Structure 1
């Protein structure tokens, strides 16, 4: 039997093969959770899962594509088949493919196809996975915790990234609706509003100068690292936060 504040809980973490998701999978496992490492890149997902297993914790890898309904339903089914329940869902994956991300500009020049792809990956995918997971949480009768990943772009306007920012704003609003509708089943839903987090992925999207500028925009002028976010996810996944739901956590 596992020990720790997440003992005997089962957690799905999307985007678990790298960055924030990777750090979160490792942290939740060390806190006692059995972890489903879900990522579009099955190789990196399996690498994360294997590191967790080497440490003596439970983890499996699953390929997951936010844009593929079959993949979304299969992820929930895989978790249930392997562990028999789902207690935590960390909707962490986003559609940040460079060929889409770098075409996200101002509203007047926005390509509607880019807009649709970003919303599909950053809103619909999370909604569909939540709908696939919550019935299992309800049937389990133990409640649960859903933790969405948003961004400061969803609360602050800027000259570019219109679709990305609007999609994150939609996710923020969706969190409130989920919290209200799932509360009768003791299922909580909260969202993390992230700053620029120092990951390998960030370096592929922004120049070093842009990253430095993003860090300097924070109050503490300190870089945010993946494990900083993972620590907050661990708290929201645990019973320590059992009365917290419908909140936007700006980090």
Structure 2
């Protein structure tokens, strides 16, 4: 894709799933990438899988709940590569324990809500905040955050999680409006059912079959499907797209 070669990107959640696939795609396009995540073993696996591009890959362990950790992530990236051209905000609060505790508002657990918002909104916002000066110094940049179809389907989704994703939409639009004149673009993608390792392990086959039955295309998503859209939105080929929330879900939802 145009405008990715030799550019520098941060991918949070880069140790597995959509994040790891995005790291792989960006490296394949000739970019330089920081893969960031909480799990050192998963980051090591990403590095091992991308050994042919090891000179263009930096791995950083960090925590979206820790402001200092986020500041350090951006600093390590710019110190290592000398610039920053974009960010893929992929990491999110999706642990099995937290999702299981995220029930209806009548039984809401404030600790669950606080954790969801701390990671999915405040953490993502801090990544954006800390990245903006470096991207402006590079002449502009692109920020792409990963939302979810749950943002539009709260009746069938964990309510704190879906609320955090709607908040991420507002954060995306604010960033696009406030920083557009500095040549900063901000968009989000809303995946449908993506067959990451966690989804394959944690979702019964009958549930996947039921979701497939509601999907227009004849398969569920793969991490690479999202990586393609993230790479496009980070590239110069999407230079006039900003402030948008784009569904990437095989037609599970159809909306304007």
TM category (shorter chain) comes to over 0.9
- 1:181 partnered with 2:178: yes
Partner of 2:209: 212
String of CA shifts for 1:95-116, please: whole Å, max 9, x gaps. 1122111111111111111111
Provide the secondary structure at the position in 2 that maps to 1:89. strand
Partner of 2:122: 124
String of CA shifts for 1:169-228, please: whole Å, max 9, x gaps. 110111111100110110100000110100111134432222222232222242100111
CA contact (8 A) 2:2 2:236 kept: no
Q: Which runs of 5+ in 2 are unaligned?
A: 249-256
Distance 1:157 1:4, change over 3 A: closer
Provide the secondary structure at the position in 2 that maps to 1:78. helix
Q: Which runs of 5+ in 1 are unaligned?
A: none
Provide the secondary structure at the position in 2 that maps to 1:191. strand
CA contact (8 A) 1:50 1:59 kept: no
- 1:77 partnered with 2:80: no
Cα distance between partner residues in 1 of 2:204 and 2:120 = 23
String of CA shifts for 1:26-68, please: whole Å, max 9, x gaps. 0001101101010101221122123323246610110021111
Counterpart pick for 2:113 among 112, 115, 121? 115
Cα distance between partner residues in 2 of 1:160 and 1:6 = 35
Cα distance between partner residues in 1 of 2:216 and 2:59 = 37
Distance 1:5 1:52, change over 3 A: farther
Provide the secondary structure at the position in 2 that maps to 1:67. coil
Partner of 2:41: 43
- Give the TM-score normalised by structure 1: 0.94
Aligned residues: 248
- Which structure 2 residues correspond to residues 189-204 of structure 1 after superposition, within 5 A? 189-204=186-201
Distance 1:51 1:5, change over 3 A: farther
Cα distance between partner residues in 1 of 2:81 and 2:54 = 16
Counterpart pick for 1:233 among 195, 207, 230? 230
- Which structure 2 residues correspond to residues 58-97 of structure 1 after superposition, within 5 A? 58-97=56-95
Cα distance between partner residues in 1 of 2:56 and 2:206 = 40
CA contact (8 A) 2:15 2:37 kept: yes
Q: CA RMSD in A?
A: 1.6
Provide the secondary structure at the position in 1 that maps to 2:180. helix
